[in-house]
Structure 1
Amino acid sequence: MTQATSQPTTALRKPVARQEKTRLSVGFILAKRFTLCAFANFVDVLRLAADEGDRSRPILCNWTVLSDTMDPIPSSSGISVHPKERLGDPRRFNYIVVVGGLIEDGTDLSAGYQNFLQEAAAAGVPLVGVCTGAFLLHRAGLLDGYRSCVSWFSHSDFKEQFDGLDPVTDQIFVVDRDRLTCAGGVSSAHLAAYLVDKHVGTAHANKSLHIMIIDDAHQAEKPQPGIPLDLKTQNPIVQRALHIMQQNIDAPISIQEIAQRMGKSKRQIERYFRLSLETSPQVAFLNIRLDLARHLVLTSQKSVAQIAVDCGFCDSSHLSRMFRRRYGCTPQVLRGLPAPQEQVA
């Protein structure tokens, strides 16, 4: 993929036939079995920024779900959304947002949607890929030469589908000229807030996030909660193994099983890790789990016992022992709580 040398901000466009007070107009295309959370987060930022208080009138912002058939669109959770408008002229929007669905479906957008997006791109309307929307835009040939962001969870799938392309998985969203992509989930709220900040104002963007109980707006460079920075590598085999580890944090699998999934031997995986990271895959897997545990200790209200379960440790005592070895203190001490009395075996 051609790497962009800069990320210039997208120019404010004046879409045709819009209300005089509207500063930001967004059209949504929802893939079959789209991710409801990512869509809802994006829309709610627009809704809360568009009006005073929580009145939801589409004044400063407006948004609509577009369709080529007007049939209800099922989300991955089984809840369907009814589109509001036919595709029509894309120039009436500042942005067209494509919300992706489940990777396993592997379906492309219909010819009607693809033609609409091609028309939007030709007219200079910026295109946004949310969650796996980047997959759909790539398959439609609309991200060639652009940097794109996907969730760390989808990194391996992306590389398998688009040979030779390496997406950004260490940021929550990417702005590359007139293409914007994000990892999905809460990152879609931050990308929407970025657009509100740009077109409507910082106060409106912050208001939306605060009402949604999201502390502050995050910039694009905010890292995804993924692989620790000291485990970054360009070796594709090690990268894939690390992502498999991430996907199995709460129920750790053996290095032998990881190797089998990758069609490699355990000894090969261990050799690649030593050459790329100067550590063993066993230590790397433990460090990924401990780094997540530390993140949860510092940023969540979960009990240490629950954090231990979430990070694949037998119990809180097991977590505390491993935690002390790595960080020099127990999770309780890091959180500012009295350390529990541990029994000596």
Structure 2
Amino acid sequence: MEPAPVRFGIVLLPNFTLTALSGFIDTLRLASDVGDKSRPERCTWQIVGENLRPVRASCGVQMSPWTTFDGAVDYQYIVVVGGLLHSGSETTEATLEYLRRAASSGASLVGICTGAFALARAGLVDKQQICISWFHYEDFLERFPFIPTNLVVTDSFFVADGNLITCSGGAASIDVAAATLRRHIAPEVVSKALRILQVADPGARSDQQPFPPSVTSQFSPKIRRAIALMEQHLSSPLGLDELAARVDASPRQLERLFTAETSLTPASYARLVRVRVAVWLLRRSRKSISDVAEVCGFTDVSHLGRELKRVVGITPKECRDMDARKLPEALRTLLEGRDLARLNSPVMDTLDLPQPTSTEPLRDA
């Protein structure tokens, strides 16, 4: 006797990303099909909403829910597809309440792209890890300061922790769909679906997110991941021991790799990463200078000012107010996310301060 189909309910948030939705549904469709007839035999899915009015994707395409929350069936998985954060309306209270009811009934919750923000707003993120795109990491911390930063993951495509599954968005939704289906369907069936989509099996490639702009492809995977973790832990830097463990290296090996590939110690590179993010926030956000210093892990405004002066030769206020056409080359390098290790060598020499102990956070005094 064939097992009952796996049941998915899909909630579209305003300005959802179409790639994330289509990747998830097409993986379900291909894995569910028997005999190439595109029939939902191994799993079923419905798009559900507060009402049947069309929901607009970030690209302008509109899609109408198939049924309302009140008419929805008992799904095993509720998939929340998010998208743009800073335009359009917020998730409605009716949607948040539906997510809470689904969670209390035992459904697993899947947050795709910024769908994880809705799960957090609904109070459904407790002690589980949650995956966020590095691009939205600061947005998440600002909106949900009560969620510990060590639970927020930005160096993986997706995280499954208990009944909560979250992913960074985009094509990573395919990985989430595949991993979820493997809980219920033969792995070879799921692998076949991925081959039809012409997508590499997640187990056959890196499971890390594309790296932030401060990382270049010339670096080895361990260095790239270490830099991504530095960006993730700006306000609470990891010690060398923990950083090395997270990238599957010994502290000494990680120090050697950093010296060979960047000409800097891990601590010096971590300081440059914090300066880069501080410059970006000073130029492109309305945060106060003291808030920027705090977010980026500096002890106070004076500390930020010393490091900024050392790297680009200007104060935080000058950085914020300066005409874009007059920006120093070093500051342009930081803003544009070019290779930090290629900043001029005198700057590097001034930043290369004594290495802290292995358990001490990678920050300067």
- Decide: shared fold, TM above 0.5: yes
- Mapped pair 1:174 → 2:165: no
What letter matches 1:268 in structure 2?
Answer: L
C-alpha deviation, 1:65, in angstroms: 0.2
CA change 1:243–1:268 in 2 (3 A) is closer
Q: How does 1:14-163 map to 2 (within 5 A)?
A: 21-52=3-34, 54-88=36-70, 92-105=74-87, 107-163=89-145
CA change 1:154–1:171 in 2 (3 A) is same
Counting matched residue pairs gives: 262
C-alpha deviation, 1:145, in angstroms: 2.5
Q: Percent identity?
A: 33
Asked if the contact 2:51/2:67 (under 8 Å) is kept, the reply is no
Partner residue, 2:360: none
Asked if the contact 1:152/1:243 (under 8 Å) is kept, the reply is no
* 2:86 alignment partner, SS class: helix
Asked if the contact 1:27/1:63 (under 8 Å) is kept, the reply is yes
Mapped to 2, the partners of 1:61 and 1:168 lie a distance apart of: 29
Mapped to 1, the partners of 2:89 and 2:203 lie a distance apart of: 31
Q: How does 1:1-345 map to 2 (within 5 A)?
A: 21-52=3-34, 54-88=36-70, 92-105=74-87, 107-165=89-147, 166=149, 167-218=152-203, 222-227=207-212, 228-231=224-227, 232-233=229-230, 234-236=233-235, 242=273, 259-261=282-284, 263-264=288-289, 268=304, 271=307, 289=338
Mapped to 1, the partners of 2:187 and 2:157 lie a distance apart of: 19
Tell me how large the CA RMSD over aligned residues is.
3.8
Asked if the contact 1:190/1:219 (under 8 Å) is kept, the reply is no
Asked if the contact 1:174/1:220 (under 8 Å) is kept, the reply is no
Range 67-76 or range 222-231, more displaced:
222-231
C-alpha deviation, 1:162, in angstroms: 1.2
What letter matches 1:271 in structure 2?
Answer: E
Q: Normalised by the size of structure 1, how large is the TM-score?
A: 0.65
Unaligned runs of 5+ in 1: 1-18, 247-254, 275-280, 292-318, 320-345
CA change 1:199–1:271 in 2 (3 A) is same
What letter matches 1:203 in structure 2?
Answer: E
* 2:169 alignment partner, SS class: coil
Asked if the contact 1:45/1:192 (under 8 Å) is kept, the reply is yes
CA change 1:146–1:54 in 2 (3 A) is same
